[in-house]
A and B are shown apart, each in its own frame.
Chain A
Amino acid sequence: EVQLVESGGGLVQPGGSLRLSCAASGFTFSMYAMNWVRQAPGKGLVWVSRIKSDGNSIGYADSVKGRFTVSRDNAKNTLYLQMNSLRVDDTAVYYCTRDYEGLAYWGQGTPVTVSS
């Protein structure tokens, strides 16, 4: 059974940093591209970042470019999102998703709150 479990969310002050993790199991993690998607309270889904299977091809939404860094450790079956210079409008639930024939598998999300 495919499982994606996010962790690392929490409360952080504006300008602060957080690192999110997504532990994957039930499939060969190293074969799939992965994405981060976020959803602010009461708002819609917003794509954040994508990393291909080998970690060498990466994309970011304009709103996070230069502040967020996606990475993966295929040996540990784990996806990461390093978030720096956090802003109030980064407040959201962050989901990791597996990318193949759509975003077919999603974690339950980890909440990030940026507030003073």
Chain B
Amino acid sequence: QSALTQPRSVSGSPGQSVTISCTGSSSDVGGYNYVSWYQQHPGKAPKLMIYDVSGRPSAVPDRFSGSKSGNTASLTISGLQAEDEADYYCCSYAGSNTFVFGGGTKLTVL
């Protein structure tokens, strides 16, 4: 159960697009289409942004999108806004009723 690998930080200017990667293995990300992404602002509970690789809850803006290729999943945020500045975590099902999170990525909106 090794944590998924995410970049520690990414940044972008308002209006730009950023992509956060999440690399695992064939035992988790590559083996299941159950990758989800969470946004967390300081002192708050995490918020689901993407489920099942590319599904988006109705309340999440369509500026947020997810994808997967092999053992790497990605979260893309287009049209960056100031309120997007937060920590982002990926999570994957890893079989046998287990999940694994990534280490988290701090997004800075310049």
B47 to chain A, nearest CB (A): 8
Check A62 against B1 for contact (C-beta < 8 Å).
yes
Q: Are B97 and A103 in contact (CB under 8 A)?
A: no
B30 on interface, CB distance cutoff 8 Å: no
Q: Does A32 contact B (CB under 8 A)?
A: no
CB contacts under 8 Å to B, within A55-110, are 57-63, 95, 101-104, 106-109
| Chain A contact residues: helix, strand, loop or mixed | strand
Closest residue to B55 on the A side, CB-wise?
A101
B96 at the interface (CB under 8 A from A): yes
Interface residue A19 (Cβ < 8 Å from any Cβ of B): no
Q: How large is the interface on B (under 10, 10 to 19, 20 to 34, 35 or more residues)?
A: 20 to 34
With A44-B103, A62-B1, A107-B45 given, is the CB distance from A57 to B97 under 8 Å? Answer: yes
Which of B38, B45, B99 is the one whose CB lies under 8 Å from A108?
A: B45
Assess whether B48 is interfacial by the CB under 8 Å rule.
yes
The answer, yes or no, to whether A46 is at the interface (CB within 8 Å) is yes
Note all chain B residues with C-beta closer than 8 A to A63: 1
Cβ-defined partner of A50 (8 Å) among B40, B97, B102? B97
Q: Determine if B36 and A103 form an interchain contact, defined as CB atoms under 8 angstroms apart.
A: yes
**CB of A11 closer than 8 Å to a CB of B:** no
Give the tally of cross-chain contacts (CB within 8 A). Answer: 67
Question: Chain B residues near A27 (CB, 8 Å)?
Answer: none
Provide the bound-state CA to CA distance between A106 and B38, in Å. 11
Residue of A nearest to B47 (CB): A106
Q: Are B97 and A52 in contact (CB under 8 A)?
A: yes
Q: Which residues of chain B come closer than 8 Å to A50, judged between CB atoms?
A: 97-99
- Asked if B18 is an interface residue, CB under 8 A from chain A, the answer is no
Evaluate contact between B38 and A45: CB separation under 8 angstroms. yes
Besides the contacts A52-B97, A103-B46, A104-B48, what 20 more A-B pairs have beta carbons closer than 8 Å? A35-B99, A37-B101, A44-B89, A45-B40, A45-B46, A45-B89, A47-B99, A50-B98, A57-B97, A59-B97, A60-B98, A95-B45, A101-B51, A101-B55, A101-B57, A102-B55, A103-B36, A103-B48, A104-B57, A109-B45
Can you name 22 A-B pairs with beta carbons within 8 Å? A37-B46, A44-B101, A44-B102, A44-B103, A45-B89, A45-B91, A45-B101, A46-B3, A46-B101, A47-B101, A50-B99, A59-B97, A59-B98, A60-B98, A102-B50, A102-B57, A102-B91, A103-B48, A104-B48, A104-B51, A106-B47, A109-B45
